[in-house]
Amino acid sequence: MIRRARVLPVLVLAPLLLTACGSEKAGHPGPSGTASAAAPAADPPTGELASRAQAMGVAPELVYVTEAPGFTLAQQSVGVLGDDGFSATWVDGDTNALLRLAVDRGTLTTDTCPEQPVGDMSGEHTTCERDGGAWYRTGAGRHEYALSEQGHVVRVSAETDAVPRDVLRAAALAAHRPDAAETDRLLPSAEPAPTTPVERGDLPPFGDGAPDSRVDVGG
């Protein structure tokens, strides 16, 4: 007995072909490892990062964190920069050298780079040198690596004789938006710290609670 091969109708076959051909979505690597389209822009920060940053008065998208060998975050340095920018400082435990991260709104171009002081030291001459996708800037005894992002600039600066250029560059390139664990270490909680009532020793346990101001014998 001869079996006849079943032929799928064109209307059924077409969607299957389209599904097979479209399984490689835009933005995902193809067989060659290259993306077929640019990845979408990152969504604005939400959740714990957003609530903690907003409680400080900092725009969540301007919160960054970095790292450098031997440097530890100085928790008390974390704060607001300008209107809603962000800044924090890391300290070398051996040399006490300071590494400052600052993120604020704005841009940095060939024309505007020399006009913007290094480390907020106004009135000082600033030199700018292109280093890959970043700017290397010097002035007022300090040096800085600055990276222009979408609508803001990420800067990592230090005293020139305290932190080598290669360490500064590595710290700047390592700057990124914090994950959940880094957010917990970097930003204070959005919830107010609980307060414990202060007990006064001169309040009697009876009556209207007025202070006991009686004078002892002899005094």
The per-residue pLDDT for range 4-17, each reduced to its tens digit, is 444 444 333 343 33
3-state secondary structure the chain: CCCCCCCCCHHHHHHHHHHHHCCCCCCCECCCCCECCCCCCCCCCCHHHHHHHHHHCCCHHHCCECCCCCEEEEEEEEEEECCCEEEEEEEECCCCCEEEEEEEECCCCCCCHHHCCHHHCCCCCCEEEEECCEEEEEECCEEEEEEECCCEEEEEEEECCCCCHHHHHHHHHCCECCCHHHHHHHCCCCCCCCCCCCCCCCCCCCCCCCCCCCCCCCC
Q: What's this model's pTM, rounded to 2 decimal places?
A: 0.69
pLDDT at 76 over 80: yes
Q: What is the pLDDT at residue 143?
A: 97
Mean pLDDT confidence for 127-139 = 96
pLDDT category at 191 given cuts 50, 70, 90 is: confident
Mean pLDDT confidence for 71-83 = 97
Q: What is the pLDDT at residue 23?
A: 37
Mean pLDDT confidence for 45-70 = 93
